[in-house]
Every structure is written in structure tokens, then in C-alpha cells.
């Protein structure tokens, strides 16, 4: 039987709905989408797409760390942008964190929670003996 574990860290924003920050199922971690909320204040980070993307990545990094994983162990990301014209600027920051180039989908959506500019979710490996 595969073990399921709910992942939580106070270094990332609290869930704003009835869901977990992440769930580990066997050797895989599935994060919920992270938005650019500053964990200490609960407020959206100030600035444009680059600042918001950086905060999203910091939040994801905290969740990955809490689950004993990392950006380098990511195998799939799904990225949501409020404006596809932000694609290049988003990618500039995204590439600083996801250096292993996981599989990815990136789509523009009509509206994101709290009217933020981006949201990202990750699937990552958590087992140490699996090389990604």
C-alpha cells in the first residue's frame, strides 16, 4: 500500500481554501498552486510579474524543502499567467529556480486567486535514491 502524507510548512502561505500545501504519495510530491503571498504577512508581494514570480518560487521552495525535495527534483510544473504578455518576464525568473528543466505547461487564464499575476504547481520526486 502506498503511503500518503500531507505536507505543511509555516514558511509558505497557509492554504486559502480546503486543500493542503502539498501531498506526498509514495515517491512523488504534488504541490498545490502557490501564489505570491508573503507568508509572514499574508499579503500579496508588491511589484509586477518578476516580483510575484520570485515570491511564488520562494513559496514553492519552502514547500519542497518541507517535503525533503527541491527544485532540482521537479519533474513537472504547471504555470498559470493572468496575462500571456508576461511570458518572457515570467520565464526569466522561473529559469533561475528550475535549472533542471522539468516538463511544463504554461497557460494564460482569465483570473487567478486574489487577482495575482501568476500561480505555479509542481510534481517532484522525494526519494533520495531516484536521480532526476
Residues forming the active site? 106
Q: How many CB atoms lie within 10 A of CB 57?
A: 20
Distance CA 77, CA 82 (A): 17
Measure the CA–CA gap between 67 and 84, rounded to whole angstroms: 31
Residue 4 CB: number of other CB atoms within 10 A? 9
Report residue 112 as a C-alpha cell.
487567478
Q: Tell me if 86 sits within 8 A of 32, measured CB to CB.
A: no
Amino acid at each position: 500500500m502506498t503511503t500518503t502524507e500531507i505536507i505543511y510548512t509555516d514558511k509558505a502561505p497557509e492554504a486559502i481554501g480546503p486543500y493542503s500545501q502539498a501531498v506526498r504519495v509514495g515517491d512523488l510530491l504534488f504541490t498545490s498552486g502557490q501564489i505570491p503571498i508573503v507568508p509572514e504577512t499574508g499579503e500579496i508581494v508588491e511589484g509586477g510579474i518578476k516580483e510575484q514570480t520570485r515570491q511564488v518560487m520562494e513559496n514553492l521552495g519552502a514547500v519542497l524543502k518541507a517535503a525533503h525535495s527541491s527544485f532540482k527534483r521537479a519533474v513537472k510544473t504547471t504555470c498559470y499567467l493572468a496575462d500571456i504578455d508576461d511570458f518572457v518576464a515570467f520565464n526569466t525568473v522561473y529559469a533561475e529556480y528550475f535549472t533542471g528543466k522539468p516538463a511544463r505547461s504554461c497557460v494564460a487564464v482569465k483570473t487567478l486567486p486574489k487577482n495575482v499575476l501568476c500561480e505555479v504547481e509542481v510534481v517532484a520526486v522525494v526519494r533520495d535514491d531516484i536521480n532526476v
